[in-house]
């Protein structure tokens, strides 16, 4: 969703305040595509600070389905987004100072709400997603979800490629 910033960037510096619909239906990353299963409208407020500096505030809540890293069951991950960005639309990203945020979500006189929130979601994305702390994962032989039942597979034991390390530790203990 694009929001027109003409009013706030004009000589009158009117504050722009809108509640808009998030158009994004999924989160796409190199690791995969994750569906957004629920979302609330986004409340956006853009106000003039000085020169071409703006304060952009956005608030919303979304829920994304992310597969568990061990058993692959979908985990509903809630993102409560409440961001405040201090941007100078007169500067390029290379010219930004420490107190200013990058402004790749502003193009000319338009604020791209989806792009702004995508960046916020990425910065809050968990490195490891688990359905529960004690998730048992999948059987390495048959693929059975060990949280929902057991299987009759034999424990494959140590990966044969690790035998060199095992032998090193065995010799180390004997010394």
At 45-64, the pLDDT tens digits run: 999 888 888 899 999 999 99
pLDDT per residue over 72-107, tens digit each?
999 999 999 999 988 887 765 565 555 555 677 888
**Predicted local distance difference test score (pLDDT) of residue 83:** 92
Picking from 52, 55, 77, 82, the residue whose alpha carbon sits closest to that of residue 66 is 77
- Looking at the DSSP bridge assignments, the partners of residue 36 are 64
Supply 38's token pair: 């629920």
Phi then psi dihedrals of residue 121, to 5 deg: -65, -45
- What are the respective helix, strand and coil percentages of the chain, to the nearest 5? 20, 40, 45
Supply 30's token pair: 């190199």
**pTM for this entry:** 0.75
């Amino acid at each position: 969703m694009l929001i027109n910033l003409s009013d706030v960037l004009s000589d009158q510096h009117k504050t722009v305040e809108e509640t808009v619909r998030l158009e994004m239906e999924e989160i796409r990353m190199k690791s995969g595509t994750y569906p957004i299963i629920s979302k609330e409208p986004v409340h956006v407020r853009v106000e003039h600070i000085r020169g071409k500096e703006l304060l952009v505030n956005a608030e919303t809540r979304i829920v994304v389905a992310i597969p568990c890293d061990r058993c692959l069951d979908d985990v509903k991950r809630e993102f409560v987004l409440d961001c405040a960005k201090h941007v100078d639309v007169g500067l390029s990203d290379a010219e930004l100072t420490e107190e200013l945020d990058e402004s790749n979500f502003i193009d000319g006189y338009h604020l791209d709400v989806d792009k702004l929130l995508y960046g916020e979601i990425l910065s809050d994305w968990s490195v490891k997603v688990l359905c529960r702390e004690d998730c048992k994962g999948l059987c390495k032989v048959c693929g059975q979800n060990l949280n929902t039942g057991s299987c009759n597979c034999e424990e494959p034991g140590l990966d044969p490629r690790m035998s060199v390390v095992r032998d090193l530790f065995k010799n180390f203990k004997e010394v």
